[in-house]
Amino acid sequence: MNILTAAQTRQLDQATIKEQHTTSTALMERAATALASWLLRHYPPQVAGEVLLLCGPGNNGGDGLALARLLFGADYAVRLALLPADKYSDDYQYNHHVLPKTIPVSELSAGALPSIQPGTLVVDALFGTGLTRPLTGQAAAVVAHLNESGARVVAVDMPSGLLADAPQPDPAAPVVRATHTVSFGLPKLAFLLPQNAEFVGEWHVEDIGLSANFIAQADTPWHLTQLPAATPRPDVALPRRTKFAYKNTFGHALLLAGSRGKVGAAVLAAGACLRGGVGLLTVAVPGCGYDIIQTTRPEAMCLADAQADFISALPATKPYQAIGIGPGLGQDVASRAVLEKLLRETQVPLVIDADALNMLGEHRDLLDLLPENTVLTPHIGEFARLTEKTKDDYHRLDLLRAFAQQHRCLVVLKGAYTAVAAPDGHVYFNTTGNPGMGTGGSGDVLTGLLLALRADQRLAPLLAVRLAVLAHGHAGDLAAADTGEAGLVAGDLVQHIGPALRQLE
């Protein structure tokens, strides 16, 4: 699914109105109805207590006014506080006009802020996508007051003060710290970035029938990868295996991994590659890893390096459809020479992770040798070593796109909402996974799974990478349902890859 820019989000309601022969007032009613239904599910009247709605002068405030009317009709105790302005949007004015007269209404001003007890449920309908500049004056005073109150805050569409797809021009200007943000149709780019988590809280998307055609056709570099069950138009799907498929169809992969004390990384990546459906797997490890791999992964073939503690020689690369290098590799100069030789000699699809990425960071001239569509899997720290220290998350996204374009590679920038950047500059945010996956070895599992899907002869490079990242996160979610997030270990991810992939077919 596409993620729209802020400008496209503003065009979306016009496109919807035109396409569906409806009116902006009717669209606002849909938005308010969706919000009321969300509140009924999450904060029914007896849990909510009195609801305070803060409304700005535009359509975000209009949503708040319409919501107040609907909540009032659903037996909530509601109170409104309105931000005065020179001009109000038409739909704001309409919803102000039809507001039941019995709802208490006050005017917000810096000198007379409403009292907000800790725990009060506040709806933030001050500003949404129409925000054009940092909050100042009265609006800033209201937001600062709200943030200090200890209230539970549900933000309408956006936490007020946050921009939908750009960094804050004035980091000192206040932004609402919402408990929940309920948005319409699709999430905003801002929701996917770690720097905004403290403002957005938990986000939710409510379907209000916005033009699916406009969303699908929008020219945007940002996209979401979702589970097939979560969307009427699945982004990605794993093709089913045909009756006469043979192990060559699924490819022969080579994994170069492990060093003394880090052979576990090779075991985890090998397990993930096997569970990821590879046809054949050969694992190259230092001498100390031979018995370990042969014992823990009898399905894999094993090549032992002449060196006991680290990999010092590149095996023949001819028979393989994909090669992975990096998990637990260590940083010995001999292992770096192996990486360099691999880059110079082969055009086989590569997956490069962990220590191998750090080697590239230290010897950036090697980046020019990357075969097209090589997959790199840095976390934020490793990405900084490959590029530069970033100012903020938007700057990092700029660097990410530029890097993938310049080196014609696929970059998997790992984290919550792992971002996959393609050589054409498009970025796909993953929606599966959970904080339980912040545990040693999770990245090794991803490398093994990527290797399996890159070896699969049926899958185009980008599809293979998006599927692997989606399945990895889904395996994490299935595992966490068994073990809880704290109890999750990387080996659990390997166990859940099979069921995760089955749900992507």
Among positions 14-53, residues that touch ligand NAX (CB under 6 A) are: 27-28, 31
Write down how long the chain is: 505
| Partner whose binding site includes residue 57, from K ion, ligand NAX, ligand ADP, none (CB under 5 to 8 Å by kind) | ligand NAX
> Of the two residues 63 and 305, which places its CB atom closer to ligand NAX in the complex?
63
**The sheet that has 202-206: what strands, in order across it?**
105-107, 78-82, 51-55, 121-125, 152-156, 180-184, 202-206
Question: Three-class SS string for 55-97?
Answer: ECCCHHHHHHHHHHHHHHHCCCCEEEEECCCCCCCHHHHHHHH
Q: Which of 441, 456, 459, 465 binds ligand ADP (CB under 6 A)?
A: 441
Q: Is 308 annotated as a binding residue?
A: no
Using the rule CB under 6 A, is 135 a contact of ligand NAX?
yes
| Partner whose binding site includes residue 440, from ligand NAX, K ion, ligand ADP, none (CB under 5 to 8 Å by kind) | ligand ADP
Q: Which residue is nearest to ligand ADP (CB)?
A: 443
By CB under 6 A, which span of 38-46, 123-131, 189-197, 301-309 interacts with ligand NAX?
123-131
Phi and psi, residue 88, nearest 5°: -120, 150
CB 65 within 8 Å of CB 135: no
By CB under 5 A, which span of 6-14, 152-160, 381-389, 492-500 interacts with K ion?
152-160
In angstroms, rounded to a whole number, what is the distance separating the alpha carbons of residues 434 and 415? Answer: 9
Instruction: Locate the DSSP E strands across 86-160.
Output: 105-107, 121-125, 152-156
> Of the two residues 156 and 452, which places its CB atom closer to K ion in the complex?
156
Q: Is 434 annotated as a binding residue?
A: no
Using the rule CB under 6 A, is 330 a contact of ligand ADP?
no
Pick from 422, 420, 432: nearest CA to 227: 432
In angstroms, rounded to a whole number, what is the distance separating the alpha carbons of residues 446 and 251? Answer: 18
Which 3 state secondary structure label does DSSP give 429? strand
Region label for 237, one of left (φ > 0), alpha (ψ between -120 and 50) or beta (otherwise): beta
Q: Is 328 annotated as a binding residue?
A: yes
Using the rule CB under 5 A, is 156 a contact of K ion?
yes
By CB under 6 A, which span of 125-133, 249-257, 275-283, 370-378 interacts with ligand NAX?
125-133
Using the rule CB under 6 A, is 159 a contact of ligand ADP?
no
By CB under 6 A, which span of 39-47, 126-134, 297-305, 449-457 interacts with ligand NAX?
126-134
> What track of x and - describes contact with ligand NAX for positions 184 through 203 (by CB under 6 A)?
x-------------------
- Contact residues: ligand NAX, CB under 6 A: 9, 12-13, 27-28, 31, 56-63, 89, 127-135, 139, 156-158, 184, 210
